[in-house]
């Protein structure tokens, strides 16, 4: 018995947290057991690593060292949370996963992509997502949303939010390239519209991909 592993990816403020909750509710309404989790984080050890990374503690050591920190957290998250849930036949919805390392640490530059992919193979092994939803929107829009959520400057931007606009533009391109390179696994969702419309687009994608697994009745034809 093996469940489904679905990841949500995208730049800052893309709406992943908003959409992952909506998707979970729709799947639960079908009677599915859903595990909602996130990266970095998703297990007690990985949550501690998250705090350190987002506070910028890895930054002085460079992007590859940060990739190693994300990977250490991911190893534990896979072992403690993701693999056991999949083995129980549950649906794992994960807010960010290995594509974020490819995109973010890649976009920071000066990293050998082959080395990053080799690291991913070692850490992730066979536990690859069945589907990755990439929420795509202009970097400026995502950053404005993230800023508004922080109260327009009342709270400090975290380690990656505070990178410059060019970084966030490179990031968007990096996610688009991942989707182009792996169309079987990835579905690009236009996230620059109302949350309801984004939710609908995500659900269309889920139905297309998993109608049989989820026992979703086909749409009536007019
Ligand atoms: N990272 C992570 C790496 O560098 N490498 C890695 O390997 C991994 C795993 C994680 C950081 O770590 C980096 C990436 C990140 O910088 P985080 O706090 O988890 O940090 O940050 P994010 O994943 O970016 O989460 P955010 O909360 O910033 O963005 P979300 O989840 O995409 O957006 P969400 O849903 O919280 O929405 C943001 C705001 O916009 C509103 C929401 O209400 C909210 O206020 N909103 C909308 N507004 C208008 N229209 C819509 N359609 C909207 N949808 C949501």
The pLDDT tens digits of the residues spanning 55-75 come to 999 999 999 999 999 999 999
How many angstroms does the Cα of residue 168 sit away from the middle of ligand 1?
A: 13
* pTM of the predicted structure, to 2 decimals: 0.96
Domain map (residue ranges) of the chain: 4-209
d(CA 27, CA 213): 12
Q: Quote the CA–CA distance of 185 and 178 in Å, as a whole number.
A: 10
CATH of domain 4-209: 3.40.50.300
Q: Which candidate, 186, 187, 211, 199, places its Cα nearest to that of 25? A: 199
- Ligand 1 pocket member 39 (CB < 6 A): yes
Cα–ligand 1 centroid distance for 184 (angstroms): 24
Length of the chain: 222
**CB-ligand 1 contact for 149 (6 Å cutoff):** yes
Look up residue 153 and give its two tokens: 């400057």
Give me the tens of pLDDT residue by residue for the chain, a chain 222 residues long: 689 999 999 999 999 999 999 999 999 999 999 999 999 999 999 999 999 999 999 999 999 999 999 999 999 999 999 999 999 999 999 999 999 999 999 988 878 889 999 999 999 999 999 999 999 999 999 999 999 988 876 788 889 988 999 999 999 999 999 999 999 999 999 999 999 999 999 999 999 999 888 888 766 666
Q: Judge if the beta carbon of residue 196 lies within 6 A of ligand 1.
A: no
């Amino acid at each position: 018995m093996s469940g489904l592993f679905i990841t949500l990816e995208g730049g800052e403020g893309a709406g992943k947290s908003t959409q992952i909750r909506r998707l979970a509710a729709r799947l639960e309404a079908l009677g599915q057991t859903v595990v909602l989790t996130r990266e970095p984080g998703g297990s007690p050890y990985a949550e501690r690593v998250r705090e350190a990374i987002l506070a910028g503690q890895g930054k002085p050591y460079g992007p590859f060292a940060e990739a190693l920190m994300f990977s250490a957290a991911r190893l534990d998250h896979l072992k403690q949370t993701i693999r056991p849930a999949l083995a129980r036949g549950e649906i794992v919805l994960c807010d960010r996963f290995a594509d974020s390392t490819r995109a973010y640490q890649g976009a920071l530059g000066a990293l050998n992509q082959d080395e990053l992919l080799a690291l991913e193979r070692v850490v992730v092994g066979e536990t690859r997502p069945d589907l990755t939803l990439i929420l795509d929107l202009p970097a400026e829009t995502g950053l404005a949303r993230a800023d508004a959520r922080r109260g327009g400057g009342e709270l400090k931007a975290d380690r990656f939010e505070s990178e410059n606009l060019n970084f966030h533009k490179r990031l968007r391109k990096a996610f688009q390239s991942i989707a182009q390179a792996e169309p079987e696994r990835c579905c690009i969702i236009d996230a620059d519209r109302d949350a309801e419309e984004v939710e609908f687009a995500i659900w269309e994608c889920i139905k297309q991909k998993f109608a049989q697994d989820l026992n979703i009745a086909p749409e009536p034809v007019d």
